[in-house]
Amino acid sequence: MMELEGKSAIVTGGSMGIGSAICVGLAREGANVALNFRKHDAEAKAVVKEVENLGRKGLAIKADVASFKDAENMVRAVVKEWGSLHILVCNAGINWDGVIWKMTEEQWDTVITTNLKGYFNYNRAVAPVFKDQKYGKIVNISSINGLRGKFAQVNYSASKGGEIAMTKALAKEMGKFNVNCNVVAPGMVMTDMAAKLPPDVVERAVNETVLGRIASSEDIANVVVFLCTDRSRHITGEVIKVDGGQYI
d(CA 240, CA 220): 10
Q: How far is CA 175 from the centre of its chain?
A: 20
CB 158 within 8 A of CB 115: no
One-letter amino acid of 150:
K
CB 247 within 8 A of CB 148: yes
- Check if 119 is active-site: no
Q: Which of 119, 122, 135, 156 is catalytic?
A: 156
d(CA 76, CA 71): 9
> Do strands 87-90 and 58-62 pair parallel, antiparallel, or not at all (unpaired)?
unpaired
**Measured between alpha carbons, how far is residue 208 from residues 98, 194, 213 in Å?**
22, 16, 9
Number of H helices, E strands in the chain: 10, 7
Q: Within 175-239, where are the H helices?
A: 192-195, 199-208, 217-228
Catalytic residue set? 156
